[in-house]
């Protein structure tokens, strides 16, 4: 009994550590999500500015902001404008792909969190097959398994903290 309690406590400790890890990971993902959404918003804003036809000086400023070297195109403002526009579109797509990846990882964390305290002994069933005995019926021998409440989780299927 004492051993079982010690084991349960050790498992609880592991669960707490895993939950902490998941929270940390989630926090990082949330921050990354904020960053990505801000970038997309900024890129879109600049895209709109270009659509509306910003003056060349401002166009150059946008190019510098997104680290695109279009100096060579600048004698041809229309070409530079298109290059920057396409680069912005590319960056938006790139950021949106990253956003879906972050979403996927967030879901993964949610699933892990749901499974984190499932009892390792009974796999969440709350009972365990214990003894197997045989009964004879007419000339057939039938195996019978009896199920006992799982002692580790007390039949709950989960280790409650
Ligand atoms: Zn159990």
d(CA 21, ligand 1 centre) in Å: 23
d(CA 118, ligand 1 centre) in Å: 8
d(CA 125, ligand 1 centre) in Å: 7
| 132, 151 contact by CB (below 8 A) | no
Closest to 148 measured CA to CA, from 112, 121, 116:
121
d(CA 76, ligand 1 centre) in Å: 72
User: Going by C-beta distance under 8 Å and a sequence separation of 6 or more, which residues neighbour residue 86?
Assistant: none
d(CA 69, ligand 1 centre) in Å: 62
- pLDDT band of residue 10 (cuts 50, 70, 90) is very high
| 56, 75 contact by CB (below 8 A) | no
- pLDDT band of residue 72 (cuts 50, 70, 90) is low
pLDDT in tens, 89-146: 999 999 999 999 999 999 999 999 999 999 999 999 999 887 777 777 788 887 788 8
d(CA 147, ligand 1 centre) in Å: 12
Percent of the chain with pLDDT over 70: 96
Q: In the predicted model, what is the mean pLDDT of the chain?
A: 91
Can you give the pTM of this predicted structure? Answer: 0.76
| 145, 112 contact by CB (below 8 A) | no
């Amino acid at each position: 009994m004492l051993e079982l309690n010690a084991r349960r406590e050790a498992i609880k400790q592991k669960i707490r550590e895993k939950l902490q890890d998941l929270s940390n990971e989630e926090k990082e993902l949330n921050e990354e999500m904020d960053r990505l959404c801000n970038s997309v918003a900024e890129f879109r804003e600049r895209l709109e500015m270009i659509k509306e036809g910003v003056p060349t000086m401002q166009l150059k400023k946008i190019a510098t902001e997104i680290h695109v070297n279009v100096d060579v195109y600048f004698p041809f403002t229309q070409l530079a404008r298109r290059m920057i526009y396409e680069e912005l579109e590319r960056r938006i797509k790139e950021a949106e792909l990253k956003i879906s990846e972050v979403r996927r990882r967030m879901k993964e964390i949610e699933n892990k969190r749901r499974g984190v305290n499932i009892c390792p002994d009974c796999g969440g069933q709350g009972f365990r097959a214990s003894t197997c005995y045989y009964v004879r019926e007419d000339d057939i021998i039938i195996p019978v398994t009896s199920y006992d409440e799982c002692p580790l989780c007390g039949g709950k299927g989960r280790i409650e903290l």
